[in-house]
């Protein structure tokens, strides 16, 4: 039976458990929120996954030093950010950094997360909130980290990389090479196809339903040409077009799915029983596709596909309003990241 822990009655070995429980309580609070304010509304599954990984690293750091939230100082946070940037290891995966140090932008996001959860717990427990993260964020390198000129351009596939990936995703099984091709192989390649060819996020892929695949009205009978994607806390319901090659790949996967007799409503089920694909398995399976296509397994690689889709549409002359809607962006200002690349006339497929 789990003990009912508080900030003032705690054993050293329970610190990490308590801090991780704080995170889950904060997530539950956000997911139950009906507020439209960005800092209060429900979180995307992908965001929860990343935040949980970030917070667990912080919880491990605190447990090693016997620190509860009221104990954390500015110096502690500086030490943590230094250690966090010296990875990678099991507790320090650097998903959004380059080089040996954390970027100021990523460090600032860490401080924002720590401050939000600290404030949430303090309010719930009726205690004075720890201001260490807030104070550290006042430093110029963090205060202006989210400024437009500090926002790095999105990673994307250049024309050659995209064509190599498309060729891999759509090729027939290489029987003479002894290539193993199962229904999961077809599923995984098609999921990646929709990230690149329709701008879906991994969360969109996981939640996509069969009735959201639209074939009627397309240029070729039986080939999907757009998708109806369900909304969530941070993204409205929307329709998005599918590239011709990705539509053909989706049609192939749907035939495989039907031949296997897989039940349920999810386009990309986790098992033959039709269960929903988990975040972690979708992420790992999709990254393995990129690795097998010789594009590497670097973190953030899946969102390169979505960014490439957006840039391709903009280069084709589609409006920022249309592309933002297809991506499910609530704020069109998010398109400024792509605008700088398009204006510079860099190559995209």
Residue 124 scores a pLDDT above 90: yes
Q: So what's the pLDDT on residue 236?
A: 85
pTM for the predicted model, two decimal places: 0.62
Tokens 């193993």 map to which residue?
180
Q: How would residue 299 be classed by pLDDT, with cut points 50, 70 and 90? A: very low
Phi, psi of 213 (to 5 degrees): -90, 115
DSSP conformational letter for 273: T
Q: So what's the pLDDT on residue 74?
A: 93
Residue 201 scores a pLDDT above 80: yes
Q: How would residue 4 be classed by pLDDT, with cut points 50, 70 and 90? A: very low
pLDDT per residue as tens digits for the range 7-56: 444 565 689 999 999 999 999 999 998 877 777 788 887 788 889 988 99
Q: So what's the pLDDT on residue 8?
A: 44
- From the list 275, 250, 252, 279, the residue with the least C-alpha distance to 262 is 275
Q: So what's the pLDDT on residue 122?
A: 94
235 CB burial (10 A radius; 0-12, 13-18, 19+): middle
> Do 169 and 192 form a contact (C-beta atoms < 8 A)?
yes
DSSP, collapsed to helix, strand or coil, labels residue 235 as strand
227 CB burial (10 A radius; 0-12, 13-18, 19+): buried
**For the ranges 108-117, 119-128, 239-248, 295-304, which has the lowest average pLDDT?**
295-304
pLDDT per residue as tens digits for the range 130-171: 999 999 988 877 776 665 445 567 889 988 999 999 999 998
Residue 98 scores a pLDDT above 50: no
Domains of the chain listed by start with CATH number:
12-150 (no CATH), 159-343 (1.10.443.10)
Q: So what's the pLDDT on residue 12?
A: 57
Residue 43: CB atoms within 10 Å = 18
Q: What is the mean pLDDT of residues 166-187?
A: 83
pLDDT per residue as tens digits for the range 56-92: 999 999 999 999 999 999 999 999 988 876 544 333 3
User: From edge to edge, which strands make up the β-sheet containing 213-214?
Assistant: 213-214, 226-229, 238-241
- From the list 18, 94, 46, 57, the residue with the least C-alpha distance to 306 is 46
Mean pLDDT computed over every residue of the chain: 84
């Amino acid at each position: 039976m789990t003990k009912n822990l508080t900030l003032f009655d705690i054993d050293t070995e329970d610190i990490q458990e308590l801090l991780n429980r704080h995170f889950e309580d904060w997530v539950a609070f956000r997911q139950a929120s009906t507020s439209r304010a960005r800092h209060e509304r429900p979180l995307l599954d992908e965001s929860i996954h990343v935040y949980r990984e970030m917070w667990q690293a912080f919880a491990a750091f605190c447990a090693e030093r016997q620190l509860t939230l009221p104990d954390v100082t500015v110096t502690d946070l500086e030490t943590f950010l230094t250690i966090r940037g010296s990875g990678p290891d099991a507790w320090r995966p650097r998903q959004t950094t380059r080089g040996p140090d954390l970027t100021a932008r990523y460090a600032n996001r860490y401080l924002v997360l720590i401050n939000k959860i600290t404030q949430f717990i303090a309010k719930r427990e009726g205690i004075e909130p720890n201001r260490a993260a807030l104070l550290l964020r006042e430093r110029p390198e963090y205060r202006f980290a989210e400024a437009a000129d500090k926002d790095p351009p999105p990673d994307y596939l250049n024309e050659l990389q995209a064509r190599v990936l498309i060729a891999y995703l759509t090729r027939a099984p290489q029987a003479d090479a002894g290539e193993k091709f199962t229904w999961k192989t077809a599923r995984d390649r098609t999921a990646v196809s929709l990230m690149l060819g329709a701008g879906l996020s991994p969360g969109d892929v996981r939640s996509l339903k069969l009735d959201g695949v639209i074939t009627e009205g397309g240029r070729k009978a039986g080939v999907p040409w757009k998708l109806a994607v369900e909304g969530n806390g941070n993204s409205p319901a929307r329709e998005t077009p599918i590239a011709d090659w990705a539509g053909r790949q989706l049609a192939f996967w749907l035939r495989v799915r039907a031949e296997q007799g897989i039940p349920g409503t999810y386009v990309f089920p986790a098992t033959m029983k039709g269960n929903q694909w988990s975040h972690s398995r979708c992420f790992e399976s999709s990254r393995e596709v990129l690795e097998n296509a010789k594009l590497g397994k670097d973190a953030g690689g899946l969102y390169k596909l979505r960014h490439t889709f957006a840039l391709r549409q903009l280069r084709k002359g589609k409006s920022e309003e249309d592309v933002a809607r297809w991506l499910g962006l609530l704020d069109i200002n998010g398109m400024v990241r792509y605008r700088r690349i398009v204006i510079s006339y860099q190559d995209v497929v």
